[in-house]
Amino acid sequence: MILEPLVAVGGALPGHLLTEVTALYAANRDFFALSGDFPDPDDIRVEQVAKALADELAHPDAEVLLARSEGRLVAVAVTLARHPDPTDPDPWLGLLVVAAELHRTGVGRRVAALVEERFREAGRDAVRLAVLENNPKALRFWTALGYLVIGHREDRARHRPCAVLRKPL
């Protein structure tokens, strides 16, 4: 499996990549119904995904990573090298979405390990993430990977209640 950064070409995201990411997001309907990231989780559109990715990439410390296995997109991860809160020293894993048909196959675990390794190689000693309080499956996943709940707060974008987790690297 490889991780490759999503890069805008001439200021735009390549159409074929947007189509791939949209299909991956649309197949994860249950997560997006919980998150509210898209107006209709049953009808996630390319334009909506393009805007969401552009918004992520507009942050100077953000990176959108595409995970591929045998050439196929199997996951998308969004990272943040520095949190907007200046008192927060850790990088963040803002999103991990795995192809729905690959849930419970180890793909998410492998992508998380690759992201952690990127941060470790960058000299970081821990990583944080937030899990929506209404997503107990995600909380079980992350705690099984060694992340510990260190607090609870609302997320900055939509004011949703979240558990904040941290893992030393």
Sign, CA dihedral 123-126-132-137, equals positive
Q: Whole-number mean pLDDT of the chain?
A: 94
Q: What are 63-76's pLDDT values in tens digits? A: 999 999 999 999 99
pTM for this entry: 0.93
Q: Which residue has the higher pLDDT, 156 or 60?
A: 60
Chain segment 108-166, per-residue pLDDT in tens: 999 999 999 999 999 999 999 999 999 999 999 999 999 999 999 998 878 999 999 99
Q: Looking at the domain that runs over 2-168, which CATH code has it been given?
A: 3.40.630.30
The Cα 48–Cα 56 span in angstroms is: 12
How far apart CA 65 and CA 44 sit, in angstroms, is 20
Q: Which residues contact 52 (CB under 8 A, 6 or more apart)?
A: 37, 38
Q: How is the chain split into domains, by residue range?
A: 2-168
User: Please, what is the Cα angle at 138 between 143 and 94, to 5 degrees?
Assistant: 95
Q: Comparing C-alpha atoms, which of 32, 35, 12 is closest to residue 22?
A: 32
What is the rounded distance in angstroms from the CA atom of residue 152 to the CA atom of residue 167? Answer: 15
